[in-house]
Structure formats: structure tokens, C-alpha cells
Structure 1
Amino acid sequence: MNHKIMKDKNLNKCTVDGNPVDSRKVPNPPSTSPGRQIPKLSAESQVLYDLITRIDISVRQISSEIALLRTELAQKPSYEEMHKYVDGAFLNVNSRLQKIEEKYTQASQQTDEIREIVREETFCDHEAQRR
């Protein structure tokens, strides 16, 4: 007897002979499933059935993981948001750096003025000592 294995694209569920396959566990082979009157499959058919069932379960688990990753990704900031954040941080650092450079320039000018005053006073002291 041929078994119909179908995948419902809308619900992303797999059915065997119209019965849904539980994605959380590998079902018993049809010949040993309780309450089912399905003739025993040939050894080759049974191997194929088990393989298809396991593949289907793996595909659904992967689809589930992809959905979780998409959900996590949707909660992460977008590239544009990260770019704005980095740009904002860069502008903030750049602004602070400019303020530091301005203070350094002022301090440098004050230092130059103090040196000039010291030179003048020293020169005046030497001149006064010569006289």
C-alpha cells in the first residue's frame, strides 16, 4: 500500500496518510503505531519512511530556529540605527576633543605669556644688577 506523505505549505505541517506528524518526536513506524491499521511496510519502504520523517522533523526544527533568530534580529537595532549611534558617539568624542584642544591652546598661550613676562623681569633684573 502506498502512503501519502504531504506537506501543508500554509501550516508548515507534515501529514502521513492525512494524519499530522508530531514535530517534537519521531513517531513510531506505521506498523507499530497504536490504533492504526496500516499494513507492514517493506524494509526498504520503512527505512525511507523513517528517513523522510526525521528529515521533516529536522526541517521544522531548523525553521523554528530561523523564526527565533528572525525574532531576535528584529529586536536588535538596525544598521542605520547603529550607524546613527556610532556617528553620535563620534561627534561627541570629536566635540570633547575640540574643547580639550581649545583649552590646550589657551594654556599654551598663557604659558608663552608667562615665559615672556619672566624673560622681561629677568632681563630687567640683570639690567638693574649691571647698573
Structure 2
Amino acid sequence: MSSTASLLRRTAFIVSIAAILGVLMAWRRDRLGPGASDSPPEWPEFVSATPEPNGEVPQPTASTVWLAPLDDGSCPADHMIKAKESSGIYHVPDGRFYERTNPDRCYATETDAQADGYRRSKS
């Protein structure tokens, strides 16, 4: 095949593709109707879900159920449950690792520790 025939075939192919694309674009324009644009629709106005501040300071609704450990790393006598934040585990006084645990929080009851997301030590 000669180079002229090859050039004519390429030109015919490109013209055919351009014609097909033109027909598709015209069909899409007619289908969308007048005034339709290719730009995305505008975003709705932002409405904040948080209420406007009114200057009042909210009062705490519940007291803290845990205490910080004493300076020596032990828990106060009325809050003997030791909780470790890094592990998410709490230790009871008769537990295997109770003595060597340095607590981050001390709780009065197991229920309080569980309510804060801690689980009981397995040993």
C-alpha cells in the first residue's frame, strides 16, 4: 500500500471520529435541554449544626468517677481499681498483676471502669 493511500485512510478515520463525536455532543445537548450546562450544580448554603454560643458556661452534669493515683503510684483507699490507659485494662486488688501495675486512673467500682471503656484483666 502506498503512503498516499495510508494518509487518506488516516484522514478519513480522524474525520469519521470527529463526526461521531459531534453527533454525540449534539444529541447530549438536545437531551439535556436549553440552558443546561456541563458545570456541576451549586452547593446548598451551609447551615451549622452547632448552636450559636450564648455566653453561658455549661455546668458539669456528672461528677468524675475516677481519681488520679497518689504520688507513690498507689490508688486511694476508696478507689482501689487500677486502670491503665495504654492497655485499656483495669486491675482489681486480688488480681495477679495488681501490685506491679502503675495506674493512670483509680476507680471505686468495676462498673465505673467498664463504663469508661476499660476491660478487666484476664489474670
Structure 1 and Structure 2 fold alike (TM over 0.5): no
Asked which structure has the greater CA Rg, the reply is 1
Which structure has the highest helix share of the two? 1
**Higher RCO (C-alpha 8 Å, min separation 6):** 2
Q: Calculate the TM-score normalised by the size of structure 2.
A: 0.30
